[in-house]
Amino acid sequence: MKTVYGPVPSRRLGVSLGIDPVCSTTGNRVCTFDCVYCQLYILGPTNYTVSRKVFVPTRDVEKDLEEALESASPDIITLSGTGEPTLARNLGEIIKVVRDVSTVPIAILTNSSLMPDDSVRRDLCLLDNVVAKLDAPDFETFKKINRPADGIRLGEIINSLRCFRQEYSGKLSMQMMFINENKNCARALAELAVTIRPDEVQIDTPLRPCRLKPLPRHELEEIKQVFLDLGLNAVSIYDLEKPGANPLNMGDTLLRRPEL
């Protein structure tokens, strides 16, 4: 399996070339969460872990990226894939290799679970855009929606997001996925976002195929307004257009983005 896939169309980031730093030959999910809305449930049960390790050699990523950039001209290179990318202990090395190979901006999609780790935050500070998830304002909702691995504490994640904002000079986007289970938490989540001070809040609902139905446009618009009323820069997924993109390797891409 290639470590680089796409390019894929992203409503939030544009035409995105993906790097999967936790991919394996088995294609299983490796994550700290097992979110109820995850589109990769089709890969089978999540392999839970909270320990960072090297899943793929940095040199393999460099080789795959050089090959992909011979044919692709993405708007952005995004670290994401078959699990939580900050689990890769060589994440910082991978980011530096991407900088050496390309001048394209680099982003990451993270569930924020490992943010309390100083080494993770140092790696994330190397990026142009960090898209960090926060779906719940309290631990009961957190357990119900994100289904975290043992030992992960929501309070520590929220505090580390505040700390990261002070350390990070790039663009911090907060991604909040709204479903029936947390749609009444909009005010509490907006108040938390005010304390974190992101550059933007992405108000999402699962439009990609998964086990849950998305909230309708009018409900997401009402949620977005809660954030706007508190002075936050909020955008609804329904407000964004999906760009066109032509994946170089459809097999590797469908493994990470099965809806394409």
Provide the CA 169 distance to its chain's centre, in angstroms.
19
Q: What per-residue confidence (pLDDT) applies to 67?
A: 94
Smallest CA-to-CA distance from 87 within 36, 62, 124 is with: 124
Q: Is 92:122 a contact under the CB 8 Å cutoff?
A: yes
Q: Is 149:50 a contact under the CB 8 Å cutoff?
A: yes
Q: Would you kindly state where each structural domain of the chain is located, as residue ranges?
A: 4-256
Number of C-beta neighbours around residue 70 at 10 A: 8
pLDDT band for position 159 (50/70/90)? very high
pLDDT per residue as tens digits for the range 91-139: 999 999 999 999 999 999 999 999 999 999 999 999 999 999 999 999 9
pLDDT per residue as tens digits for the range 59-82: 999 999 999 999 989 999 999 989
Phi, psi of 135 (to 5 degrees): -110, -10
Q: What per-residue confidence (pLDDT) applies to 24?
A: 66
Q: What per-residue confidence (pLDDT) applies to 215?
A: 96
Write the Ramachandran bin of 111: left for phi over 0, alpha for psi from -120 to 50, otherwise beta. alpha
pLDDT per residue as tens digits for the range 190-232: 999 999 999 999 999 988 777 888 999 999 999 999 999 999 9
The domain made up of 4-256 has a fold known as: TIM Barrel (3.20.20)
Pick from 8-22, 134-148, 199-213 the range whose average pLDDT is largest.
Answer: 134-148
